[in-house]
Structure formats: structure tokens, C-alpha cells
Amino acid sequence: MKRQILLIALFSMCVVANAQYPRASLWTADMSGFAAQDANGVKKDVVLFAGSSTFTMWSSLKTDFPNSKVLNRAFGGSMMTDLLYFFNQVVAPYSPRQVVLYEGDNDLYGTTKTPEQFMDDVIAMTRLINIYYPNAKILLVSIKPSPSRASAFAKYQSANLLMKNYADKFDYIDYVDTWTPMLKQDGTPNETLFGSDMLHMNASGYALWKSILEPLLLTALPETEAKDIILFDESSNATYHEPSWVNATAPSTFTTAKDEKISCDSAHHHAGATSLKLAYQGIGVGNWKACVAAKDWAAFDVSGLKELEMYVYSDNKVDSINLPYVYLESYSSTTTAKLRLSNYINGISAATWTKVVIPIQDWKAKSPSFAYNNVKSVFFSQMNLNTAPIVIYVDDIIFRLQSGGSNPGTGNSGNIFVDFGSPSNSTDGNWNNITDHQGANVELIDDQGAKTGITLTITDPFYNGYNTSGTTAPTGDAAAIFPSTATSDNFFGHGNAWSTTAANPEGIFTLSGLDKTKYYSFKIFGSRPSASDDRETLYTATGAGTKTATLNASTNVSSFANIDSLLPDNSGVITIKCSAGVNNTTAEKFYYIGAMKITVVGNQTGVNLPKAAAFSAYYSNGVIKIPEYTGKLTIYNLGGTIVAQGQALFGQCQLNLPKGTYIIKSTIGNTSLLVY
């Protein structure tokens, strides 16, 4: 009864009328149409055209740009604020390599909006695209001089100039002038380029635009271009993986959570949040086999690739004799010779992720006639009899174009582990013990002991040195990564003065020598379990973009902060800043960092990756509404800074936000929010 009263009280604090974006209903049919077009598969890596009817009516768009993989997601009558609102429907799903934007016609005609206000919307849109897809190019197309809208020409020209000046500041943004080429020598619009309404262009107008835009569009990657193929790095299901298949012949066994599907495990993972669980025992005359395939069981071509790479793990030591065979299957159901996994790894050490590399040439030497350009799946199968059940976990199964090597700075293998703290409490093995809290400058090694070429340098000292009051008994997710020697001490600082010690607002270190084409992810631990107040630390990582995460060190023994998929800047550097978080209640604003795991991957993965969310957020009268959601919300501005945090209950959370565009992070994903 008390629980019900509490829920009712909280609910009454948050409930307001459900108010959505007032223009949303104008494009219900358009959004449904886009969803229907995507029903058979979402196109990726496209040159995306987004905007108003000028793009919507470009019926020859694909044929006009045959060398670019174009996709049209414009909807007539729209303004830039509408594009912002429908970002998850018209931009985010398609992983665009380039976004071509045309708005302004409707924003500035017949409205009170000024060119400066329109430019605010343009900036919000470009920042949103850059946060979601930091490698994407953006092309701002100038507003055209439609004769029927001559009354708005002064505003149009001002807006065009603002867009040009803004684009000139960024390498990833281009501006194209369509206004000037559409004028006659006397400076008036060339009416022969427009239809009878003198608003939209005719075929001659689009032909002109084709010649103007074509040199600025990215050309499509060749379909036959060889590149890495990720067979498995994450599962959409927490308990089993689809696509996969398992078959066991008695008395041999292969344990599964779902019939004929390889189980997934969220407690063991090399990167991401899940791994494949192979739980088997070879017995007598029995046999077992299990395969994993590409998404939707699609065929893939490994004929031009170099090797198959994967990571394996077991809670207990597994001798090489107990490891399985590995082989490939084609779409015509032919298979390669079986290769012993033990040929490539001398057993699995307990509680250690170990990299395995199998050269594709080893299969080609034994099975030269196999269809390597039409592979369907990778099989694991029984090799020997096992005296007891075997459980191994497999993650990050990737066919590589080039050898990954053992250098995470350049080759995408081997994690890096860092212990920040006292020299009297270092962590053994292939750990990097950073003990100089004021001036460390150390080249890091990976978990295989190989030098990485990556240097950690403290550029803003943690003046007060070490805190040795961290947990000596980590549990949960933290215990799976960090040993007690790493969790029991920390570097620390304080944003305000501490007794007679002056304030130390932030501690900063850089990681240099990074591969500018790779994404880096960080799991960061800090612990002060004897404290009862809130000692939230804000970790701000800045490379090509900026991402943040928070962790309350007080009472912490099991959690860590997670920053995923960040590209280095143009110099190959990521900077990590530690400071007190907004929820930190200590007068001194203490903050901590005790240990860190660095993972490098070839593409974006993980929770910090913004993606098209399966939900929408609305804002009205100081309340954020996310239908049917209960849980924590973190609100970021477009600069990546946390501006608010709160708890949603029954789909609503009371937070006061000024006008602007925000990114909302929740336990069910990320989405954008427009407050107008």
C-alpha cells in the first residue's frame, strides 16, 4: 500500500496534458511512406537529400547522380524545425556519408522568422548530424530565387550569406550557391527555370542544379571493394543469437537457451554487451556443430580478405585438446576443410580474452575449389571427446582485409588496461600502472604486452595524488574487468578548496598516437565506498567530437562509466577530463579515477552511439514525455555537455529546459528533443 501511495504521489508531480510538436501531423503519410520503403531493408552509407518540396519533386534524382548512392527523404512544405523533429525518421537510420540540406523557402516566406533565427535551426541540424555521424559531410544548398516569393528575397539572401559564412568555418560542411546561376544578367530570376507556379523548378531548373551539385556529391563506394566483414560483434537478443544454428547428435551435447540457436551471454563480452556462448561436450559416437551467419543469412565474399579474427574466453582454463574445429560453409552447402582451433591458440587461459587469427589461405590451401565469394556461415564443431562439459565465449568475429597485428593503436586488437594510483599498489600482468599523478608521460602496452605507440600524458595534474580508500572487493560488471589492486586506489581532485588546499577543478590527461580511422571506447572505474554523500565524477572525452559519462564513486563497488565509439581528432589525440558532476553534493567537489579499459574498434558500437531510436520524446510546460518509459534520463546539449538529469515515471519527467535542441539518453536508447 505504501508503494502504491508513493507511485501515485510521484505520478501526480509529473502528469501534464500530452502535447506533441504541433506540425507533426502534417507529415504522418510521408513518414509512413518512408517506413514502407525501408520495410525490405534500410539503405546505409548514402548521400541523403533532406529538405522541402524542391527535393521532393526532383523525380530524376537517382538517374541524375548515377555515381552517388543517393536517397531522397525530403517532404514537401517542411521547414528546418520539421527536419529536426523528424531526425530519427529522415536522417538517423541511414548512416549517411553525406547529407544534402535544402530548407529556408518555407521558413522565411510568410512567417515572422528572421534569417538569424533560421540560421540557429541550421546550426542545430548540422550539429545533430555531426554528433550522430562525425564522419559525414554536409552540403548546405542555398535558397533559390523563386519569382513568386520575391517579397522574401532580402531574407533569403541574408540567410544564404549566413549559411556560407558558417560553412566556411568547418571542413565537413560545404555551401553551394544556386541563387546566382538562376538569375538573368539583369539580376532578376530566370523564369525559364521555373514551372507555371513560379515557385518550383521545371526540368531545365533541375538540369542546372544537377550541373551545380554533382561535383560536390560523394561518389558511391564500389560495391566490389573489399573491406572488413563483421560477422558478429553484438546480438539483438540477450539470450540467443539470430542468425545462428545448432545441431547435436547424442550422446554429445550442446546447451542452448533456445532450440537450434547459439546462446548469448551478457556477463561475458570482449566489446559491446554480449558474446556467443559455446557450451558443449563431445561424448562417445555423438557429434555437435554450431554456426553463425551474417545478418539475414546474407551471402558474403571473403575471397579477397586475409584472415578470420575472433576473441575467445573461458572462466576456467581450457586445454587445446578441448577446443573445436572451425570451417566455412557456402550458400550451395559446400564446406571447407575443418581447421583445428588449437592450431592457432595454445589453449585458453582462465578469465582472459584471447585473440585468435586464422589465415583464410589455410582454408584455401586445403579447399581450393570452395566458393569463397559466396560464404554463408562459420561453423564450430566437435573435434575431440571431452571428459567434462566445456564452456567458451566467442566475440568480435571479423574477417579482416589486412592483418590486425597486436597494436591497438594501428591494428584494432588487444585491449588496454590502466591502473591509476599508488606505486605501492600496482596491478600485475599486462597492465599500465600510472603512478605519477602530476606529470605522467607513458607509452601504453596492450593486454598482450605489445607496445601500442599510444602515449598517456597528464596535462592538468591531479594535485592531491592518491586516494587508497577504494573497494578491495569489486563485484558485478566491474569485477569482470578490474582486479582489486586497480579498484582499491584512485587519482583524485576537488573542484573547490579543501581545508587549506586550493581548488583543483579538473584533472586532465591525453592519449596521443591514436589511429584517426578507428573508434575508441572507455570503461572508467572510480570508488570511494566509505562515503555516503554523492561524489559524482564527470568524465569528458574529446576527440573529433565530445562524449561524456558520469559515475558516483560513493559506495561504488560494481559500476563503471562508459564512453563508446569516439574518433580521435585530426592529430590522433583524445583528451579525457575528470571533474565534479552536476549531482556532486560534497562541499569540496571531490572527483576520482581509479582504473580504465580502452577498446579500439573499426566502427561505432556501444551505448554511446546515437542511433535511430525506437521512441520519441516531446516537451510541454516543463515536462518531458516519453510514452510508457520509466527510468533515468540524461539531457545533453548539442555540444555534448550534460544540462539536466531526471527520473521519468510512467512516461513523464518534470525538467525545465530553455528553447533549443537536445539529445536525450535513456536506458532504451538515445533520441533528439526540440524545445520551441
CB-based contacts of 70, cutoff 8 Å, min separation 6: 46, 47, 48, 49, 61, 62, 217
User: What is the mean predicted confidence (pLDDT) over 568-581?
Assistant: 92
- The DSSP secondary structure of 500-552, one letter per residue, reads TBPP---EEEEEES--TTSEEEEEEE--BTT--S--EEEEEEESSSEEEEEEE
- Measured CA to CA, the distance from residue 555 to residue 533 in angstroms comes to 9
**Cell for 65?**
547522380
Per-residue pLDDT of 251-301, as tens digits, reads 999 999 999 999 999 999 887 789 999 999 999 999 999 999 998 888 888
User: 199 pLDDT band (50/70/90 cuts)?
Assistant: very high
Predicted pLDDT at 360: 93
The type of residue at 128 is L
Q: What is the pLDDT of residue 341?
A: 93
Does the pLDDT at position 329 exceed 90? Answer: yes
- Tell me how far apart the alpha carbons of residues 535 and 591 are, in angstroms, rounded to a whole number: 6
Helix (H/G/I), strand (E/B), else coil: 19: coil
Compute the chain's Rg from CA coordinates: 28
Query: b/e map of 293-308 (b: 16 or more CB within 10 Å)?
Result: bbeeeeebebeebbbb
How high is the pLDDT of residue 222?
Answer: 55
Say how many C-beta atoms besides its own lie within 10 A of residue 354's C-beta: 18
Please report the pLDDT score of residue 404 as a whole number: 54
Q: Which residue has the cell 524545445?
A: 675
The reported pLDDT for the residue numbered 603 is: 47
Average pLDDT over residues 83-108: 93
Domains in the chain (CATH in brackets) are: 2-17+610-675 (2.60.40), 42-216 (3.40.50.1110), 229-400 (2.60.120.430), 410-601 (2.60.120)
Q: How many CA atoms lie within 13 A of 358 on its CB side?
A: 24
pLDDT band at 226 (very low <50, low <70, confident <90, very high): low
Cβ pair 665, 549 in contact under 8 A: no
Would you state the cell numbers that stand for residue 93, as one nine-digit string? 537510420
- Read off φ and ψ for residue 84, nearest 5 degrees: -60, -45
Is the bond preceding residue 215 a cis peptide, omega within 30 degrees?
no
Residue 166 grid cell: 558558417
Residue whose entry in the numeric block shows the C-alpha cell 540457436: 261
Sign of torsion over alpha carbons 21, 27, 30, 32: positive
Percent of the chain surpassing pLDDT 70: 90
pLDDT over 70 (residue 2): no
Percent of all residues in the chain with a pLDDT value above 90, rounded to a whole number: 55
Over range 464-479, report the average pLDDT. Answer: 86
Q: pLDDT per residue over 49-75, tens digit each? A: 999 999 999 999 999 999 899 999 999
- Listed in sequence order, the DSSP H helices in 430-491 are 476-479, 484-487
Contact 309, 357 (CB under 8 A): yes
Cell digits for 254? 550442446
Cα 84 to Cα 630: distance, rounded to the nearest angstrom: 25
Any bridge partners for residue 325, and if so which? 340, 381
- Say whether pLDDT at 613 is over 70: no
Mean pLDDT along residues 242-258: 96
Q: Are the beta carbons of 618 and 18 closer than 8 angstroms?
A: yes
Q: pLDDT class for 153, splitting at 50, 70, 90? A: very high
